[in-house]
Structure formats: C-alpha cells, structure tokens
Amino acid sequence: MRTAVEGLSLRFADAADVPLILVLIRELAEYERLSQEVVATEALLRETLFGTRPVAEVIIATYGAEPAGFALYFHSYSTFLGRPGIYLEDLFVRPHLRGRGIGRALFVCLAQIARQRGCGRLEWSVLDWNEPAIRFYESLGAKPLDDWTTYRVTGAAMEELANQ
C-alpha cells in the first residue's frame, strides 16, 4: 500500500501479526481508559481475524522499523444506499508517533479500500471526551451524526435476550 509519509509503510495484517495486534488493542484500551474491557486473547483474534470465517480485517502501520499503529475494520451494509460500507472499529497510533501523518495515511488507505470495494460510506464512533480525535476526524472532512445514539447489548443482557 502506498503512502505519502516518508518512512511509513501500511500492509494488511496476517496471522503472524496476532501478538502485535493484541498489544496494540491493549494500548488503545489503556488510552481510552477501558483496559478492564479487554478480554480478547491471541486465540480469539487468530480465529476471528484469520480463521475459517474472518469477520474483520486489520491494516498495520510501521514507521521505520517500529510498529506504529493499526486500523481494524469490517463491512457493514446500508439498506438506504443498497451498498456495503466499511465500519472502522478501531484506529490507533502510538502516542509518541502521533502528528506524523500516520492516522491520516490509515484513513486514506481505508477510503481507497472502500472505493475499490464499491462501498457507499466509511463510518466509526468516537468517545465524547476524545477531543484530539474529534478534531482530527473533522480535519478529514468527517461530520458527527448528532441525531443518532449508539446502543449496545452485551454480556448477561445479550444472553438474556437470546434466551427469550
């Protein structure tokens, strides 16, 4: 994958990257003050990302020889557009490497993938308190969807719902 940032390379992850992906997920969770939420294991990531039915894809960013960050995404679908979309679950650039264009390069790459795959949109969520990320996203031309609220069912609530 081409990038305009000197010293930066982007590539699709493979199964050998699972330990690195988990390290980056844990670093992201620490930054987001959500470390207690991470229950992912290398075995789970290996199965869900590279197993018989992969459900998401990962792009690894390397700056020089150092792993710099990642983007983990999957396909969604818009009934209104009648086309697939890409949902960016996580984008993370290690704090000491921020401000070098790595995050922007990851977004450019995602937009190119979306275009190549005929996707109608690229979307993601951001924590309300994460002002640096919000400013960055707005600099890319992203607009918040103020009239939408995200809901989630997980854990015991999901089990209870499934058992009805």
* CATH (domain of 91): 3.40.630.30
* pLDDT surpasses 80 at 38: yes
Overall number of domains in the chain: 1
Tell me, yes or no, if 31 is annotated catalytic: no
**Got the DSSP string for 6-49?**
TTEEEEE--GGGHHHHHHHHHHHHHHTT-GGG----HHHHHHHH
* pLDDT surpasses 90 at 3: no
Crossing angle of helices 42-50 and 18-31, rounded to 10°: 110
What's the CA angle centered on 79, arms 87 and 48, to 5 degrees?
A: 35
Strand partners of residue 73: 57, 88
Give pTM, 2 decimals. 0.92
Hey, CA dihedral for 29, 63, 60, 91, is it positive or negative?
positive
Residue 1 lies in a domain: no
Confidence of residue 73 (pLDDT cuts 50, 70, 90): very high
Q: Which entry of 31, 73, 77, 137 is annotated as an active-site residue?
A: 137
Confidence of residue 34 (pLDDT cuts 50, 70, 90): very high
What percent of the chain is modeled with pLDDT above 90? 88
By residue range, what is the domain housing residue 43? 8-162
Calculate mean pLDDT across residues 123-130. 92
